[in-house]
Copies of this chain bind each other. A is one copy, B any other.
Amino acid sequence: MEKPYVIGIDIGGTNTVFGVVDARGTILYSGSIKTGQYEDINDYVSALSEGLQSVIKQAGGNDQIKGIGVGAPNGNYFNGCIEFAPNLPWKGKIPLAQMISDSVGGIPVTLTNDANAAAIGEMTYGAARGLKDFIVITLGTGVGSGIVIGGNLVYGHDGFAGELGHTIIRRDHGRLCGCGRHGCLEAYTSATGVARTARELLVNRTDESLLRELPPEEITSKDVFDAAMKGDKLSAEIFELTGAMLGEAFADFVAFSSPEAIILFGGLTKAGDMIMEPIKKSMEKNVLKVFEGKTKLLFSQLKESDAAVLGASALGWEVKE
Contacts and interface: CB of A to CB of B under 8 A. Distances in A.
A170 interface: yes
A176 interface: no
Interface string A31-47: 00000000000000000
Interface in A27-82: 74
B288 A163 contact: yes
Contact of A154 (B149, B168, B286): B149
Most chain B beta-carbon neighbours within 10 Å: one of A74, A156, A159: A156
Interface in A148-174: 149-150, 152, 154-164, 166-172
Contacts of A260: 157
A158 B294 contact: yes
A180 to B, nearest CB: 7
How many copies of this chain does one complex carry? Answer: 2
B158 A258 contact: yes
Nearest to A291: B160
A157 B295 CA distance: 9
Nearest to A260: B157
B164 A256 contact: yes
A275 B260 CA distance: 35
Interface string A223-254: 00000000000000000000000001001110
A253 B168 CA distance: 10
B179 A289 contact: yes
A289 B180 contact: yes
A133 B150 contact: no
- The 9 A-B pairs with the shortest beta carbon distances in the complex, nearest first, are A156-B258, A161-B258, A157-B260, A163-B255, A133-B157, A167-B252, A166-B288, A161-B257, A160-B290
Interface of A: 74, 83-84, 132-133, 147, 149-150, 152, 154-164, 166-172, 179-181, 248, 251-253, 255-260, 286, 288-291, 294
26 contacts: A74-B290, A83-B290, A133-B157, A147-B256, A149-B152, A150-B150, A154-B256, A157-B258, A158-B258, A158-B291, A158-B294, A159-B258, A161-B256, A161-B257, A161-B258, A162-B257, A163-B255, A163-B288, A163-B290, A164-B255, A164-B256, A166-B288, A167-B252, A167-B256, A168-B252, A179-B288
